[in-house]
Amino acid sequence: MTPRETVEAFLRHFSAERVPSAHTMAAYRRDLGKLLDFMEHEGLTSFDALAPERLRSMAAREHRGGLAPNSIQRLLSACRTLFRYLNREGLLAHDPAAGVRGPKVRRKLPHVLDVDEARQLVETTLDDAHAPQDTAMMELLYSSGLRLSELCGLRWGDLDLEEGQVRVLGKGNKTRILPVGRHAVAALRHLAAQGGDAPEQAVFKGRGGMPIHPRTVQKRLSLLSAGLSRHVHPHMLRHTFASHMLESSGDLRSVQELLGHADIATTQIYTHLDFQYLAKVYDAAHPRAKRKPDAG
């Protein structure tokens, strides 16, 4: 097979084995397309001809071309996943990514709402026919920390309002059971009372009764958050859920389970966020935290 045919075979395997989101699949296809373009530019007709120095050259070229460090790291990660697949299938005898590192990525802390801002958001309503659905969506995003794709794909059969639970199918086709806050339960009951709550039906509906589109959720959230001092997006509510849970419980492992993170290192970013909050309180309240102006 040609390199492009090999990559297509890998993508089919990856899609069937990992069941990734459409966004992840598009990213893998785009990143591996960069690898294929580089190989063609260099006259490499097989993956056997790839070596670590070649991969470093590709990363350097992308960096010079303006690709952000985190995007280069993602590109190299996609290449490593491909090479592991080729090794397993006996199509490649070495690892072209061995010892190859991308540029250092400056880790950004996620933006979150404070408790008052979160309360203001979930209690905001717009005077239109979508208000009950808006309330239920905001309450559920904040009370359970759902991903946007999980919210849009939710069916009434996934909810147990008596027990205050929701079953979601997350990344990697993994199912988790999450608690639902009492305000979210009340909002969902009110939404269900409007009809159309059969188990197989979407909880949040768009046109024609189909599951609501992610872009529609983003637009409604922008309208609801207009009174706040900053732009709010759905994933910010997930970050806010995690941060508030960690602040009140201190239980990192439980927050990891609630978020559905495979690696606790992904969840640990919220410990940095928590420290940032504590440092802010300390600077504002402790008499020895503030520097005195230099004398003279």
From the list 63, 84, 235, 277, the catalytic residue is 235
Distance CA 97, CA 77 (A): 9
Structure tokens at 32: 């591996």
Active site residue 142: no
Closest-CA residue to 191 (of 154, 145, 241): 154
Active site residue 235: yes
Active site residue 238: yes
Name residues whose C-beta falls within 8 Å of residue 188's C-beta, 6 or more positions apart in sequence. Answer: 136, 139, 140, 159, 161, 180, 203
Active site residue 277: no
Tell me the residue type at 111. Answer: H
Tell me the residue type at 235. Answer: H
- For 28, 33, 43, 54, the CA distances from 3, given in Å and listed in that order, are 15, 10, 12, 16
Distance CA 147, CA 84 (A): 29
From the list 74, 183, 220, 238, the catalytic residue is 238
Name residues whose C-beta falls within 8 Å of residue 39's C-beta, 6 or more positions apart in sequence. Answer: 3, 45, 49, 50
From the list 54, 155, 205, 261, the catalytic residue is 261
From the list 61, 167, 171, 233, the catalytic residue is 171
Distance CA 282, CA 123 (A): 30
From the list 28, 85, 142, 270, the catalytic residue is 270
From the list 74, 147, 239, 244, the catalytic residue is 147
At how many degrees (to 10) do helices 22-42 and 52-64 cross?
110
Buried b / exposed e over 128-167, threshold 16 CB at 10 Å, is eeeebbbbbbbbbbbbbbbbbbbbbbbebebbebeebebe
Distance CA 96, CA 288 (A): 54
Q: Please give the positions annotated as active site.
A: 147, 171, 235, 238, 261, 270
